[in-house]
Amino acid sequence: MRNLKVMTAYRGTKYHGFQRQSNALTVQEVLERAVSKVLNEQAAIIGCSRTDTGVHAREFCFNVKTESKISNIGFCRGVNGELPEDISILSCEDVSLDFHARFDCKGKEYIYKIHCSESKDPFGSDLAFHYRRKFDIEAAKKAAAHLVGTHDFASFCADCTSVSTTVRTIYSIEIENSGTSVIILVKGDGFLYNMIRIIAGTLIDVSEGRFSPDDMPKILAARDRLKAGRTAMAHGLYLNKVFY
Amino acid sequence: MRNLKVMTAYRGTKYHGFQRQSNALTVQEVLERAVSKVLNEQAAIIGCSRTDTGVHAREFCFNVKTESKISNIGFCRGVNGELPEDISILSCEDVSLDFHARFDCKGKEYIYKIHCSESKDPFGSDLAFHYRRKFDIEAAKKAAAHLVGTHDFASFCADCTSVSTTVRTIYSIEIENSGTSVIILVKGDGFLYNMIRIIAGTLIDVSEGRFSPDDMPKILAARDRLKAGRTAMAHGLYLNKVFY
């Protein structure tokens, strides 16, 4: 028995997220079909994370156990050959049998991408949130600074009933502006459901003056989803890196 | 009567090039329909260039004459509202009545984009040529240097019977590598049919050792399309800038 650690990237536009669903097309289903064909056995892949409908991944890790003797490069080429254009295998390596893509993940980095311009971007209408107003980077940076660290993020969670704790640690939030793009890069040990999208939406609300940057501590303290800002649209979100 | 100079950008994937055709969807047709609706009169737009099926534009200029009193920003917003996701109006300004987007164009800059990686790019399979081998940047740069300047480019033209001269001036060719992307940036006073795609294809042939960089002068001197390399695929090509 072998355990393969595989890195993949996907454009989430056409998929109902990563996790397999009985009634909608997901990335997991498409990957499992391609992997099973190449391994010539029924493969069950374990993903590092769920992602929402329309969310993208520039680096997503899964592991899969197999009896196959296929080489790592043969696996990558074979599976890539079976996959559609919007899912790509980046790498494959053998790891110990107890490696688990979800439980062993030590941290994640997400990007929220905003296209700030009067004109839409004809090359990526599904790859960034189109925002027609000016984004106030300085105000957003000040607000974001309050969120860095270990906090109870219950105000930034869409549905927290299924988790044992809403305490998470954000290592850093960087906000960069290049041309018409604003990139919000968030690195942390783990994230609650919709947490990055609510952080991004709240920073957009800060940019519009609906919140002041110094409102963040009391929004955190409230532990109430209704106190934070909007949930930013899914198609601006990318899982960018996963750390083990 | 007014004459509007309009900058637009488009993803060419779905279109049979810019120029109107009776039997296939083109960018011109879609733009004219949207512009006519907003100006409330039958608009005839004059493009700066033809582009091939699948070729993209990050900046493409057209002009259109109108009796409408619409503001420039109203024109941009109105036309953008009528256009599909893959065509965008960037700007609009009033110019003198004798301005002609094609005849007054003093120069153009094209990009040829190559995704160099074993893995495909899930975010842009139609936005760059996927090349699974290593691209030899240094050899390509040496070859490209021979093409800069004023030359007879008959060897780099797919069908030269309709032009009065095949002499053109290339101001510069820059080749850059960032991550898995190779960008070939070509600036010149004007280009023959398929010229950039044949230059890009020939540089790929140089990278593969089919030509040496020092073969370029004799390829130019031959004035024979069969002496140059392959025609690189259309979906890697972008009209990047137009100069007036």
B80:A121 CB<8 A: no
Q: What's chain B's average pLDDT?
A: 96
Look at residue A162 in the predicted model and tell me its pLDDT: 81
Question: Tokens 């899982």 correspond to what residue?
Answer: A239
Look at residue A178 in the predicted model and tell me its pLDDT: 86
Across the strands, what pairs with A110? A186, A239
Q: Which of B120, B178, B237 to mutate: most A Cβ within 10 Å? A: B120
Look at residue A54 in the predicted model and tell me its pLDDT: 94
The closest alpha carbon to B33, from B14, B20, B52, B17, belongs to B20
Interface check for A181 against chain B (CB to CB < 8 A): the answer is: no
The 10s digit of each residue's pLDDT in A178-234 is 889 999 999 999 999 999 999 999 999 999 999 999 999 999 999 999 999 999 999
Structure tokens at A65: 């156990």
Q: Mean of the pLDDT values across residues A99-119?
A: 96
The closest alpha carbon to A74, from A91, A86, A87, belongs to A91
Interface check for A132 against chain B (CB to CB < 8 A): the answer is: no
Q: How far is A7 from chain B (nearest CA, A)?
A: 11
Look at residue A159 in the predicted model and tell me its pLDDT: 82
CA distance B5 to B20: 19
Interface check for A167 against chain B (CB to CB < 8 A): the answer is: no
Look at residue A230 in the predicted model and tell me its pLDDT: 96
Structure tokens at A152: 């109870």
CA distance A118 to A131: 8
A52, A86, A136, A215: the catalytic one is A52
What whole-number percentage of chain A has pLDDT above 70?
100
Q: Mean of the pLDDT values across residues B64-77?
A: 97
Q: How far is B164 from chain A (nearest CA, A)?
A: 35
Chain B, 17-76: which have a CB under 8 Å from a chain A CB?
56, 76
pTM of the model: 0.89
Interface check for B104 against chain A (CB to CB < 8 A): the answer is: no
B76:A118 CB<8 A: yes
The 10s digit of each residue's pLDDT in B206-224 is 999 999 999 999 999 999 9
DSSP code at position A235 = G
Residues with Cβ < 8 Å from A53, sequence gap 6 or more? A12, A15, A16, A17, A234
What whole-number percentage of chain A has pLDDT above 90?
91
What whole-number percentage of chain B has pLDDT above 70?
100
Q: How far is A85 from chain B (nearest CA, A)?
A: 6
Look at residue A105 in the predicted model and tell me its pLDDT: 96
| ipTM of predicted complex | 0.83
A119:B76 CB<8 A: yes
Look at residue A103 in the predicted model and tell me its pLDDT: 96
Look at residue A160 in the predicted model and tell me its pLDDT: 80
Q: Which of A27-36, A113-122, B120-129 shows the highest mean pLDDT? A: A27-36
CA distance A103 to B10: 43
CA distance B242 to B160: 22
| AA identity, residue A124 | G
Interface check for A122 against chain B (CB to CB < 8 A): the answer is: yes
Across the strands, what pairs with A172? A187
The 10s digit of each residue's pLDDT in A128-170 is 999 999 999 999 999 999 999 999 999 999 988 788 899 999 9
Interface check for B178 against chain A (CB to CB < 8 A): the answer is: no
A80:B120 CB<8 A: yes
Look at residue B126 in the predicted model and tell me its pLDDT: 93
Query: Which bin fits B233, alpha (ψ -120 to 50), beta or left (φ > 0)?
Result: beta
Q: Mean of the pLDDT values across residues B163-178?
A: 94
